Every structure is written in C-alpha cells, then in structure tokens.
Amino acid sequence: MATQAEIEDPISERPRRRVGCWVLLALAALLSLGVLIAWISREDLADSLISSELAKRGIQATYEIESISGHREVLRNVVVGDPKRPDLTIERAEVTIGYGLWLPRIESVRVVRPRLFGTYIDGKLSFGALDPLLFEGEKRAFEFPDMRLTLIDGRALIEGDYGPVGLKLDGKGHLQGGFKGELGAMAPRLAVPGCSPVRATLYGTVAIEGRRPAFKGPLRLGAVSCPDQQLQLARAGFQVDVRADEAFQVFEGQLGLDVGATRFAATQLSGLTGTSRFTWRDNGLTARYELAGSGLASSQAVAARLELDGSLRARRNFERIEIETQVDGSGVGLGSGLDGTLADAAKSAGDTLLGPLVEQVRRQLASHQGGNRLVADVTVRRTGDRTSVVVPDAYLRGRDGATLLSLSRFQYATGGTEAVRLAGNFSTGGAGFPRIAGRMEQDPKGGFELRLSMAEYAVGSSRLAIPQLALTRRQNGTVGFAGQIIASGALPGGRAERLLMPVSGNWSPSAGLALWHDCTELRFEALQVANLTFGRHRLTLCPARGTPIVRFGSGGLRVAAGAPSLQLAGRLGETPISIRSGAIGFAYPGAISAKQVLVSLGPAATASTFAISDLSAQVDKDIAGKFTGADIRLSAVQLDLLGAEGNWRYADGRMTIGDARFQLVDRINPARFEPLSAEEAGLALIDNRITAETVLREPKSGREVARVDLVHNLNSGRGNAELAVVGLVFDSALQPLDLTRRAEGVIALAKGTVTGTGRIDWDEQGITSSGRFTSESLDFAAAFGPVKGASGTVEFTDLLGLTTAPSQSIRVASINPGIEINDGEIRFALHNGEILGVEGGSWPFLGGTLRLQPVEIRFGVPEERRYVLEIEGLDASRFVERMELNNMAATGTFDGTVPLVFDTLGNGRVEGGLLTSRPPGGNVSYVGELTYEDLGAVANLAFDALRSLDYRQMRVQMDGSLTGEIVTRVRLDGVSQGVGAKKNLITNAIAGLPIRVDVNIRAPFYQLIGVSRSLYDPAAIRDPREIGLIDAQGKPIEPRSNGTPSVPEPPKDPIADEAVIQRRESEEMP
Amino acid sequence: QRDPAYEAARQAGQVGEKTDGYLGVVGDQPASIQKMVADINIKRRANYAERAQAQNATLEAYALTQGCVLIGRTQPGEKYQAPNGTWQTRGAGAPQRDARCP
Amino acid sequence: CITVDAPDKPIVIELNINITQEVIYRLATDVQQNIDDNPEIF
C-alpha cells in the first residue's frame, strides 16, 4: 500500500508492515491450535500414549479422558503447562479417527472453548509448554493437516512486546478446504515502535480453500500518534481480503483503505481512501493501488482532491522499492507558506518596480486558488539507501486550461555514496503570470546549475525581463549567479526606463547576497533621480578594492561603487543640465566624493557653469556634504563666484548650500568693481529657482560693503538682486579705490559713511539696475581740490553703469578749489561714471549767492575746465565782515560773474571777473588809524577821501590765479565825500566834482585776505623765524643773490609799509 | 613708506618731480601709471590746500616751494623737471633748480 | 580865493596796491616737515 504521503518518506512503511505481519502470525498461531490437537490424537490416542508423547516432549499436561473409543476420543479439562498458569486449557476435545489404508487418520477434531496463552517477546512467539510441540516439527514446509476441525469459542491471549492481543476464533470445516470460521482479534494498546499505543481490532472470516487459507474482514486502528515520524492519524480502517498459499509463503489479496484526518509533519490530509491489490512472494511485494486523498494542505500547496494510482514493487524485503504513480490533483492552489513568503517579498520590494510585479503574481495565484489541476506521473526508486525520483512530466493547469507550471524530465537522486543529482526543465505561464523557462542540470563538480530566462513581465509601468540568468549551486552551499536583466519602473528615489543591467555575484546563507565583484556597465534609456532626468546613457561602475558593489546580508544593505569618470546630460526639472566629473565614489551608508565636477545648468547659450574641484557628502536619509574650489559662472549676470566652498544638503527635492564663502568677481574687463568676498552665504535651489543671500565684504579691510538677496530662475534666465548698503564706512582702512579701480585719479582720501539700497534686474533682454545712496557727511579729495561734508541722496537710474537720474543735488559743507567756499549745493547728473554734468550749484556768499552755471566735467581725462560763477546780491558789508576787515566799512550790493578756468592740473584762474554795484551805490570808509608820510598831494587826498567815500557805482574787475595772485581793479564812480570824511580844502573843492577812484590791488587773493588781517592785527604777524625771514640765531636769511621769485618787483607802495604806518600814530597832515 | 608700485615707477624713471610741486609722467606711460600719478597729485593737492591755508600762503606758492624741496631730494637716477621744463635725470651733483628755491 | 574849475573829465585817482610777501622763504621749513609727515605721497 503506497500513498502519496508515503512516497516522500519510505521509512514510515516498516511499522505498518510489522503490524501487518503481526496479524498474520496471530492467525497462524490459531490455526496451528487445531493442528496441535490433531497432532496429539494422530500419534497415539491412548492415554498413556499421549502422556508418554507429552512426557517425551517434556510437555506437562493434564487432562481427563471422557471417553475413548476406536473412532472418537473425548478429553475434558485439558490443561497444558503449569497448572497455576496453564498455557492451554481446553474444556472438551472430541477427536474422531478414521482408518485410512494402513495408518489411523484423524478425520475431525472438535474443540470446545480452548484457552491458549502465549507470549511474544523480542520477536519470539512462545506458547510456554507447547513450544517444543509446535516449533520442533520437521523443517518441511508447513502444511495443513488433512482433517476437519470444529472450533467453538476458541480464545487466545498473547502478551509481549506489542502489548496484550486477544484472539477469538469460531469455525468448522475441512482444514485443507472448506474450513470457515469467524475470527476476532483485539489489541487495546498495540505498541507500535515510536508511536503511542494504538487500539486495534480485527474481525472477519477465515476460510481455507484448496489448502489455501484466506481472511476477509476489517482491521480498525484507533488514533495513531507517532511523534518520531510526526505522524498522526485520527482513525484508520482497512478492509483486508487476503489469501495465503499452503506454505504461508505467498500472500495476495486486496486491501481497502479508509484513513481519517492525517497529519504528517506540516502536511495535513483530511482523509485518505483507496484500494490496493498486492501480492507478497518471496520477500517481495508488488501492489497496485488507487488512492484518493482529500483536503491536502501543506505550506507549499493545497489540493482539494489528490488521486494517486500506480504500482509499487518491493524486492528483497523492501531493500529495493519502485513506486510509480499517476498523480491527478484538483483544486490545487498556493500553500499559505508560499503565499507568506511572496507577501514578504512584495512588502520588502514595495517601493521598487519589483513590488507591483510580485504583488501581481500573488493576486493571480490567489485568483487561481483552488481551481487548478495537477497532472503528473512520478517514479520513485530506492535501492539500498539511494533514492531517486523521476518525474517525466507534470502540469499544473489553471481553471481556464492554461498551463501555469510545467515540469519535464525532472530527476532528483540523493543518499548513498554518489552526490545529489538534480536535473529537469520547467516553465511557467498562464494569463497574468510571468513566463519563465528554466533548465536544471548537474554540473560535473557536484553542484547543480539552473538556467532560466523570463519574458518581459509588465504590471503598470513596472516591467522586468531576464534575457538569461544562470544560478549555480556549489557543493559548499553558496549559490553563484550571472546573467542580465532589463528593468523599467520605480527605483528607490527615482525611476529607470529599460535599465539593462548585467547581474553577477553570489549568495550564501552565511554571507548573504554579494552583487557585482568587478566593473559593470549599466545602460539605460532614461534614468530619473529625484527631479534629475538623464537621457540614454552608458555608465560603468566599479567596486572598491576587494568588496562587491552591493552587499545585502546580516549587516543590512551596503553599496560602494566608483566610476573613473562620469558624463551625463539630462534635465533638472525643465532646465537642461550636463554633468561631467573625474573620479567619483559613492557608498551607502557612507559618503559620496567626486573630483573635478563640472555642472552646466541652463540652455547651452546661457548656461551657468559650476566647476567644483572637490565635492563630498554623507549619504543616509538625505545627502549632505562639503564642496571646495568651486567656480560658478552665472551667465545671465556678468558675475563670477570663484573659489567657492561651503557645505550643501539635498533633501526632498531641495538643494541648499550653507555658510559658503566665495569671491564675487566682475567678468567684464576692465572690471567695474574689485573682487568682493562673500561670507556666510546661503543658497537654495528649489524647483529651478536659485535664491541666495550673502554679505559682501571688501577683502583687505573685511569691512561690510553690501548685503545681497538674489533670486534667479534657471529656466527663464530671469532674476533680480537687491543690495542693501547698511553703512559703508570710508576711512584710511577702506578707500573708493579699493572698491573700484575707476575711482583712481578721480577721488581719493574719502572719509565718511554711505548708506543706500540698490536693485539689479536681468532677463533675456539684458540688465537694468537702480539705486539710491545717501551720506550724512562725506569728505573726499578730487582733482579740483578737497571737498568736506558732502551730504544728500543720489538716485542712480543705472547703478552698474554709474548713471544717475537728472538734477541730483548734494550739499557741500566746504569745497576748496583754492578758495574755501562753504555751504554749497550742487545739482548734477553723472553719466556712465565718466561725465559729470553739473546743472548748477549755489552758495550763500557774503549776503548774496554765488551760483555756478552748468558745466560738464569728464572724469579721468585731464582737460581744461571752464566754470562761470555768478554773484548776485553780494553785500559789501558782509564781505568786509567775512574778511574780518575790522577797520574797514563798506556798504552796497554787488552783482556780477566770475569766470573760472581750471587747467589740467586743477589749478583755477579767474578770467574777466566783473562785479558791479547796484544803484544807488554805497560808501567805503577806513576807520582805522591812518598816518601817511609824503604821499604827494593827490595820494594824501586819496587817503583822506578813503576815510569815507560815497560812490554812485563801484565796478570790481578781477583776473589772476586763485591759487596765486589776483589783480583786482576797483573803480568807484560818482564819488563824494561820505559822512565822517575829513573835510578840507581840497575835498570841499572837489566835493561836487566827478571823481573816479581806481584802486588796483595786485595781491594773492588769499593774501589779500591774509594781508588785510595783518594790517591791523599784530597777532596776525608771524614770527619771522618761523616764516623763514631770519634763521634760528636771528640772522636774516640772505635771499639768493639771483633775485626774488617770479612775482614782479612791486613798486614802492604806500599801503605796503603798513608796519611802518602802524607805529606812527599821529596824523601830520593839516 | 611709499607704495611699491610708486617707488618702482620713480626708480624706473616713468615718473618725476615737477617744478610746480606735483608728480609728472615722463614720456607716454600706460594708463595705470597715469592713474597712479593722478591719484598722488590729488592727495598732494589736498595736502597743499590745507598746509597753505595754515601757512597763510597761496596754494601755488606752497606747491612751488614743495617742488623745490622735492627736486632737491630726488635720488640719483630719478627724474626731475628743470626750470626750462625739460625732464632731467638726477645725477650725483645738485639738480638744476629755480633761482627762487630756498 | 582860488577856484578850481571842475575839469570836464572826472578826476581819476589811481591807487595801485601791491601786496606780496616773501613767501617762498617762509615756507621752507614747513615744506620739509610736510614731507616727513606724509611720506607716502612725496
């Protein structure tokens, strides 16, 4: 009897067989009982004869002879063996003797209620005292005696290794043919090795036909539980119909089988029924069987119904077994274990393209659950301890008839001295299932090789194809694999399209998975990582020395790869990007490092380029790291960020750069500004928009120049930058020259603070910029002389081009082109930083205003410049007061123009300056002490006149160098003696006369002022030593013999000897 | 402690001391030299303006006097302007100077 | 008494004031000092 379960494990067959032969033994013992009686009576019926026979055999027996006659003997209370524990008791035995030819022959025996007691210990059956009789006999093949037997209520009890077995036999008939009887056997605790005791009952009819005994009837076993073999049977019923030959050598018959719930290791069977025809001959068993298991459930597969029919041949006492089976399973489906592993696989590969594929396989299997049919024929051979299984072909067909799995020429052999052998082809198919074709075969070195290929299996956007993959299982248990896969779909953190990837590596239970031991070339149609997408490319990745690129084992996933160089072109969001780098290394968990990375971002014509010499980053949840030596050229803005370094972080689509440092350099030559250093710069790249903020400092002084907030859209190329000059301080440490070379030779010695804001906008058309800059008080030196206390706000319409809005006005505390002019206000416009269009300037000037007429100054170009100053409303008295001419007084209001010409060196000259008094004129008077020596009549008159002179009109003409000497010609018309003038003869005489007084003052304008002060102020006179007239010892320093400086020799001048005048206080003139 | 570029230009004879107290460019020189001379002259001009005001002298007079001294202090090999306006190279002896120089 | 008849032309009184000073010598020492004070521009 071979069932599906048995094929897997031939060992479990023995106990069943032993039980089976046990039954046979019991049967034989009973039959032999009858023979025993016959044997006794046949020899010699006489009491003495019997007792001598028994005694001869040392059998202790007592009996009562009820009657003995020629033909019938009746014995009563036969007790054989120890009377206290008899081996055999017979209530009444009747033997009829027939006389054959020459020997008395027992014709029939009738035994009433015989009780036989035996033991079966260590495989030896013994009936105590009866043994010599039973087992001594000749060695001839056992043969039924030729007589009739009637057994009434015959019982036997055999105890021993297998627990007590009670037998009961009733029956009558000729022992060589025609005997019929009822047999019942009961073993309440039948001990089966390795199992818990089983309750077994056997009941049926015994018949002997033609000397061939036969038994027919049910054998029932109670619950069987064999922990050793992990076998449990709820109940088992066998319908036995067996016949033996005379010599009990050959048994054949039929066996009906009905087993209840069976559980064998993890496999459960709700029921097993079937029939088997078997013959047992010279230690060999051949049987044919049809079995049907129902409700098969194992971790691998489930089946509603499994029909096995086939044959079993066993030789030499099960030493050689051959089982052939036709398997026909219906309602076959996926075992929960297999489904569990698929579920785990789907979860762990969840976010990659494998996830949906495995999930689809599971869903398909689930939808096919229970509807499939398994058809296979299997041959199992076992010789000695070498077992081999051969499955010529097997099909698993879906409900719709499509073949889900087919197995062909499958061989598996194990055990014995030879190595494990495995070979066979398999292929999977069916709607919605991957189509895998594989071949398994032995390789000479004892390992086995599986070659498989899978047609493209697609679920949604995930597609996987395995053109070819070879797995070799070496003897040490490691599995090596090499092949190629083409995949499209989601990858952790991105997607790939038609990623062609050679796969090579190995897996072992201890070391886990190791992938790519040497350089591997990947090819893809498209690869997307975050929002970076690359077009068709070829990429070679190499492992670090001695370690595979990918390792996945107890230590978790570790990836380490490098590429000698990298060249990728694609898009970042919608912006074209191309990346080129030198050696690049990547490890996860771990760091990325790349050298000489060149990234160009944006359309080729206007791409911004990032050249980074060294880039490194830590890789875990997100990527963060450092970069140094980066040169960034923003195309839209003609500026370069050089030598940038800092750290960067890339997380969920956002690239941010932190505390970066770089030099901001103007790409235009000659540069509009000197390189500025940026500190603590921050930059973020989110969806194509770069935002950056930084503080720009002047490198040498480290002083903050401006704060910049920049926004740039990589895609449109549009952006803007806002500048905030919080407080730009100029002093000895920082000069305009340091900020821009253009200031050299234009402005120097700046001192003061400038604040302001600027804004630069750029787009595909170009750049516009504007700004407003203010200073409370700024000093600086310019070509025309030092300026102090400039204040005001200047509006720039083109900041970068240094062009201001028209009519900007600033106030100037003082400007000294030779003469210090105070509190001026200039209106001007600067163009291109080169042309200063002065629209006008006005100064309060001695009661009136001094106004500068529009003029155009070209910076940086030494040229002669002409200015025209208009004087309006000059108040003579303020003039005198300003010049601190205490002893003078003057009234009158003057207007006029003073044309100035500045030469290339910046020296100013007055050319044709003319001031005229306004009607009705005014008065000039000298109130100081005035003495005069022999001045001549007219001169004296003049002096007197000067004392107080009214004039109708005064005209003042000026010519000469501001920095040198100015010739001033004063003409007074309509002169008459003013109040307080000394009247004398002449003055009265001429009182009415038209007198015109011309005064020609030739003096340094400066000195004019300086001299007049010294005229009357002794303190103003300087120490001669100090002014070089006499040396330290008081000796006058002899002027050089060759004359005085070019200043012409002054004519003797009355006013000049003021010192003299001062000392003679008296007034000699009448 | 002169700016190195200025010192080099003086020694190379690219620039020289003029009689009017300002620095002059000798022959035609690159823009950088011209810009440097302009920058120094602006600073001298501002200096003269303040010193002249303090000394109650005209800026021109102060500048002229300064010129005399500067020419007097030129090192051999440096350039200076003679009273007749031509560029001379200072030798070991005294330079030609305006009669009025102190 | 004497009468002076007013000439038809106005009587022109011409005064020439010439103010010069021996400047150069006065400044000699200050100029020297100036060089020492501002070596970087001389």
Q: Is the pLDDT of residue A71 over 50?
A: yes
Residues A1015-1040: what's their mean pLDDT? 42
The CA distance from B69 to the nearest CA of chain C, in Å, is: 7
- Comparison of pLDDT for A49 and A490, the residue scoring more: A490
Place A676 in a pLDDT band, splitting at 50, 70 and 90: very high
Place A343 in a pLDDT band, splitting at 50, 70 and 90: confident
d(CA A210, CA A51): 34
| Amino acid (one-letter) located at A565 | S
Do A626 and A646 meet the contact criterion of CB atoms below 8 Å apart?
Answer: yes
Q: Give pLDDT tens digits for A166-200.
A: 889 888 888 778 888 898 888 888 877 778 888 88
Q: Give pLDDT tens digits for A24-41.
A: 777 777 777 766 665 555
Name the DSSP class of A861.
Answer: S
Q: Is the pLDDT of residue A44 over 50?
A: no
Quote the ipTM score: 0.79
Q: Is the Cβ pair C41, B44 closer than 8 Å?
A: yes
Q: Is C3 within 8 Å of chain B by CB?
A: no
Q: Is the pLDDT of residue B12 over 60?
A: yes
| Dihedral, CA of residue A616, residue A619, residue A625 and residue A627, to nearest 10 | 30
d(CA A802, CA A830): 7
Please choose, from the candidates A762, A825, A829, A768, the residue with its C-alpha nearest in 3D space to the C-alpha of residue A795: A829
Q: Is the pLDDT of residue C33 over 50?
A: yes
Place A429 in a pLDDT band, splitting at 50, 70 and 90: confident
Q: Is the pLDDT of residue A771 over 90?
A: yes
What subunits touch chain C, counting only 3 or more CB pairs under 8 A? A, B
Residues A133-156: what's their mean pLDDT? 72
Do B89 and B75 meet the contact criterion of CB atoms below 8 Å apart?
Answer: no
Residue A3 is predicted with a pLDDT of 41
When scoring A744, A787, A1031 by the number of chain B Cβ atoms within 10 A, the one with the most, hence best to mutate, is A744
C23, C24, C39 ranked by CB distance to B2: nearest = C39
The CA distance from B1 to the nearest CA of chain A, in Å, is: 15
Q: Is A1004 within 8 Å of chain B by CB?
A: yes
Do A10 and A1 meet the contact criterion of CB atoms below 8 Å apart?
Answer: no
Q: Give pLDDT tens digits for A946-998.
A: 567 788 888 888 888 876 777 778 888 877 776 666 666 655 665 666 667 77
Place A149 in a pLDDT band, splitting at 50, 70 and 90: confident
- What angle separates helix B31-54 from helix B59-72, to the nearest 10 degrees? 120
Query: Which residue from A minimizes the CA distance to C12?
Result: A996
Lowest mean pLDDT: which of A1-15, A84-98, A143-157, A878-892? A1-15
For residue B4, give the 3-state DSSP assignment: helix
Q: What is the CA radius of gyration of chain C?
A: 26
Please choose, from the candidates B60, B75, B54, B68, the residue with its C-alpha nearest in 3D space to the C-alpha of residue B96: B68
The CA distance from A667 to the nearest CA of chain B, in Å, is: 20
Q: Is B97 within 8 Å of chain C by CB?
A: no
Residue A9 is predicted with a pLDDT of 41
Q: Which of residues 10-39 of C touch B (CB under 8 A)?
A: 23-28, 30-32, 34-35, 38-39
d(CA A485, CA A454): 9
Buried/exposed A91-106: b ≥16 CB within 10 Å, e otherwise = ebbbbbbeeeeeebeb
The CA distance from C33 to the nearest CA of chain B, in Å, is: 10
Do A293 and A305 meet the contact criterion of CB atoms below 8 Å apart?
Answer: yes
Separation in Å, CA A438 to CA A395, A402, A675 = 15, 18, 69
Mean residue pLDDT across chain A: 79
Place A694 in a pLDDT band, splitting at 50, 70 and 90: very high
Do A113 and A90 meet the contact criterion of CB atoms below 8 Å apart?
Answer: yes
Place A264 in a pLDDT band, splitting at 50, 70 and 90: confident
List of residues 6+ apart from A243 with CB closer than 8 A: A212, A213, A214, A215, A251, A252, A253
Residue A150 is predicted with a pLDDT of 85
Residue A759 is predicted with a pLDDT of 94
Residue A971 is predicted with a pLDDT of 82
* Beta strands B15-17 and B79-81, pairing class: parallel
Do A878 and A884 meet the contact criterion of CB atoms below 8 Å apart?
Answer: no
Q: Is C1 within 8 Å of chain A by CB?
A: no
Place A1054 in a pLDDT band, splitting at 50, 70 and 90: very low
A470 burial (CB, 10 Å; 0-12 / 13-18 / 19+) is middle
Q: What is the pTM of this model?
A: 0.58
The CA distance from C10 to the nearest CA of chain B, in Å, is: 37
B1, B58, B66 ranked by CB distance to C31: nearest = B66
Q: Is B5 within 8 Å of chain A by CB?
A: no
The phi and psi torsions of A804 (rounded to 5 degrees) equal -95, 170
For residue A238, give the 3-state DSSP assignment: strand
Q: Is the Cβ pair C35, B57 closer than 8 Å?
A: no
Q: Is the pLDDT of residue A157 over 50?
A: yes
Residue A192 is predicted with a pLDDT of 76
Residues A598-613: what's their mean pLDDT? 83
